[in-house]
Structure 1
Amino acid sequence: MKKYFFLSLMSSVVIFNSCNSTDENEIITDPVEQRILLSKVTTVYYDNPASPQTTVSTLEYNNQGQLTKTVSLGESSIIEYNSSGKPFKINHYKADGTLDYYSSFSYNGENLTNIKAIYDETSLNRTINYTYSNGKVANSTLCQTENCSNPIISTYTYNGDNITVETSEMSGGISSSNKREYLYDNQLNPYTFTNKYFRIMMGGAYAMSKNNYASEKISYKDSAGNWVQNQQIIYDITYNSAQLPTQVIGKSTNGTNYVKYNYEYILQ
């Protein structure tokens, strides 16, 4: 589970609880009648175990269940939609309320093709381009210069509706490579009823997959071009009565804390 929330807005043991209530199942399978929407994410990072860092992100919706505002670390993002219900612009505000930059969305039919971040200082502008295979995002390319030199390219491999392998590589003067391999539970993840275009924009396997990580293997590419695993994370998941996660705790195989997520929802 990548240790960020709304990156593009600002991208072996699991506990399974049973769900026997017909009404609860109806909530999940009929989102038009009753939506369970993610309203708050509290994340604790353990990069420095002696001083864990906590971030809180909140999400607000209109009466149609469209995400209209997110707030994190005092900074906010306001979303605008076109007549067909697709997001077309996000204004990103600093903590003091002034506009930092805005994001514009472009589409080809039902596919989101790119998102551009536009700043007053044009050297800060960046673009994420998306390509598709069988209706799913196959690649995303982050361009941080106008000629897209040294892009960061993420590639996704699927098993059904879940991304099982995610690679991210940057070439050029500063090169880096990262691979993550995932196993999943069989429950819906917290972003189930979030607009699909936001799930793409957030980036990464968790937002774009159907279920929740049970484990994650992390590898890097050595000087010979071989992938070398250097970490494995096991996720312990607690669910609510609707079988959506309320807490996810990730630990390394040696028992060291890696990350903790707490999820809160509203019913609409």
Structure 2
Amino acid sequence: MKKYLFLGLMGSATIFTSCSSDDNEITNDPSEKKLLLSKVTTIYYDNPSNPETTVSTFEYNSQGELIKMLSGGRSSVFEYSNGKPTKVNYYTATQTLEYYAVFNYNGDQLVDIKAIYTNPDFNRKSTYTYNSNGKLVSSTLCQSEDCSNPSTSTYAYNGDNISVETSTIGGTISSAYKRELSYDDKLSPFTNTNKYMRIMMERAYSLSKNNYTAEKISYRNSDGSWTQNQNITYTIQYNNAQLPIQVVGKEANGNNYVQYNYEYITQ
């Protein structure tokens, strides 16, 4: 889970997870009711004496597509065409349009997402590449027209889960970190999420089939070697549909790291 939830292009998410009539397993039957993620409360413990809490809420149309996300007074409004997200408008707390993002496709494959600002110097583009199985294997974020000093993320898989996520932060002085992940056998809240939204979110928590229960975080040294400096363990509570309702992450020393509380509605 970590602290990437709902970041990245405002971290928009469509989370619609179907449940069976006995509420014990996830199905894709369109005739079944759907569990939709309606609220996520996140508590960050970067400053243990003064934890930071953020709340994100979600609104859906009758097709179960996310149409609006609210977080910290800011909002994101989504547009679709034939099940594909095509545009997201991002508004400030005063409901002024800050920027918008457009989705570009090659057939059914999402190629890139472009964020457009009034000041073109702020424009940016995320470009995606896939393996032969259609899984996202890398993303590149360009924050200039010539894409100098891009930020990149690469993903290695073990089955349907991302086992290693490596990110390089572009800039005058670049940095890189690596996350090695272990998983439970339960379906993640994003199991039936619109696949293009999962790609947009770009992280293991949305792209993987299951929920990760541990992560080792390492940072790259100037000589190219890696030094591990964090080992996070996650304890997960589930509802009757076996979807996470609370995730608590702790450091190796037992200190709190982050906590997520998930609330769902049935539609």
TM-score, scaled relative to structure 1: 0.93
Question: Which of 91, 112, 131 is the matching residue for 1:93?
Answer: 91
Q: 1:159 to 1:259 in 2, by over 3 A?
A: same
Bigger Cα displacement from structure 2, 65-74 vs 185-194 = 185-194
Distance 1:218 1:23, change over 3 A: same
Structure 2: 5+ residue runs without aligned partners?
12-19
- Whether contact under 8 Å (2:142, 2:150) holds in the other structure is yes
Counterparts of 2:138 and 2:80, CA distance in 1: 25
Name 2:167's counterpart in structure 1. Answer: 168
1:123-142 equivalences under 5 Å are 123-133=121-131, 134-142=133-141
Query: Could you tell me whether the CA contact under 8 Å between 2:4 and 2:203 is conserved in 1?
Result: no
Is this contact kept in 1: 2:79–2:85, CA < 8 A? yes
Match of 2:176 in 1: 177
Contact 2:80 2:86 in 1 (8 A): yes
Match in the other structure for 2:17: none
**CA distance in 2: counterparts of 1:206 and 1:137, whole angstroms:** 13
**Does residue 120 of structure 1 match 2:107?**
no
Residue 124 of structure 1 aligns with an amino acid whose one-letter code is: F
Give secondary structure in 2 for the equivalent of 1:130. Answer: strand
Residue of structure 2 equivalent to 1:8: 8
Gaps of 5+ in 1: 12-20
Contact kept? 2:2, 2:249, Cα under 8 Å = no
> What residue number does 1:56 align with?
55
Paired letter, 1:3: K
Q: Give the Cα–Cα distance (whole angstroms) in 2 for the partners of residues 251 and 2 of structure 1.
A: 10
SS of residue in 2 equivalent to 1:187: strand
Q: Distance in 1 between matches of 2:171 and 2:243?
A: 42
What is the TM-score with the length of structure 2 in the denominator?
A: 0.93
For residues 123 and 75 of structure 1, the distance between their equivalents in structure 2, rounded to whole angstroms, comes to 22
Contact map agreement 2:180 2:215 (CA 8 A) in 1? yes
Tell me the alpha carbon deviations over residues 119-177 of structure 1, each in whole angstroms, 9 at most, x when there is no partner: 00111100000000021001000001111100001000011111010000135521101
Aligned pair count reads 257
Q: Distance in 2 between matches of 1:144 and 1:263?
A: 33
- What's the CA shift for 1:186? 0.5
List per-residue Cα deviations over 1:3-33 (Å, max 9, x = no partner). Answer: 033223426xxxxxxxxx971235x123522
